[in-house]
A and B are shown apart, each in its own frame.
Chain A
């Protein structure tokens, strides 16, 4: 890793990279790799995380001349990471490589038990995380790439429409409309599973 004192700002490193010092980018890579991994891990299957995270840094490197120094580099990189995840799913859906998992009796049974009065208690014991994750993956597989990203950012992560719009590069109105529609789709999907 190139020798950079701790006081060296991101702006200074970015200037060096733009001036042709490619090795200085390693400083940014090491500084922000965990941040990028945290974002990518939430949206992408485990076996694809490394590749997508690498793609994020390559995109960031190529787009570096367009980085506006007034904003935070971390925030800028977060938007690139979220868009890389969105592109990953778009590509997956287009090439139909997505394995369509189905719910089995185990999942239905788990849902029935979870929605009973003891739901919080049983989940906190940590014995049913896997079933919840599988149910979530199943529901997400049924949605489009756009719906998936909006559900994850707004519904699950709890970001505001403005924050999600900033990350996805969409308008706030678009995020609001998409969020409303995708939530309805998710509800419809789960209605078919939840025993009434």
Chain B
């Protein structure tokens, strides 16, 4: 009589053969049609709201226009003689209420 270990090895070999000898299932064209119909029914896939994709697609494209706008804006301000520091200083000096508060300290 064979040892039990050898019996299991022989059985494993046989079961493996049986496992791999399963018949191949042939599927017709109708299966492909049905599968594609089901997939089309799901509609186009979207990767979901993704900030990086949104940034890449839309915000990044606006960069040249934004740069141009900044340059044009800076030129206009210079031409008009608008100096914000000077205006703030003038406002501070002319504001008497603020001055009186300052005198308290």
Interface residue tally of chain B, by bracket? 35 or more
A18-B47, A29-B32, A65-B46 in contact; A119/B14 too (CB < 8 A)? yes
Given the complex of chains A and B, what is the CA–CA distance between A26 and B2 in angstroms? 54
**Which A10-50 residues have a C-beta within 8 angstroms of B?**
17-18, 20-23, 25-26, 29-30, 33, 37-38, 41-42, 46, 49-50
Given the complex of chains A and B, what is the CA–CA distance between A70 and B13 in angstroms? 37
Query: Least Cβ distance of B105 to chain A in Å?
Result: 63
Residues of B within 8 Å of A187, CB to CB, are 8
Count of inter-chain pairs, beta carbons less than 8 A: 108
Is the pair B15, A33 in contact by a Cβ cutoff of 8 Å?
A: no
Is the pair B11, A22 in contact by a Cβ cutoff of 8 Å?
A: no
Residues of A within 8 Å of B27, CB to CB, are 33, 37, 49-50, 53
Q: For the complex, would chain A's binding face be called helix, strand, loop or mixed by DSSP majority?
A: helix
1/0 per residue A136-158: CB within 8 Å of B?
10000000000000001001111
Closest chain B residue, CB of each to CB of A17: B45
Is the pair B11, A114 in contact by a Cβ cutoff of 8 Å?
A: yes
Residues of B within 8 Å of A22, CB to CB, are 39-40, 43-44
Is the pair A114, B14 in contact by a Cβ cutoff of 8 Å?
A: yes
Q: Which of B7, B15, B16, B31 touches A115 (beta carbons < 8 Å)? A: B7
**Which B18-35 residues have a C-beta within 8 angstroms of A?**
18-25, 27, 31-32, 34-35
Residues of A within 8 Å of B11, CB to CB, are 111, 114-115, 190, 194
Closest chain B residue, CB of each to CB of A41: B25
Is the pair B22, A123 in contact by a Cβ cutoff of 8 Å?
A: no
Closest chain B residue, CB of each to CB of A61: B39
Query: Least Cβ distance of B47 to chain A in Å?
Result: 4
B positions within 8 Å CB-CB of A: 2, 4, 7-8, 10-25, 27, 31-32, 34-36, 38-40, 42-48
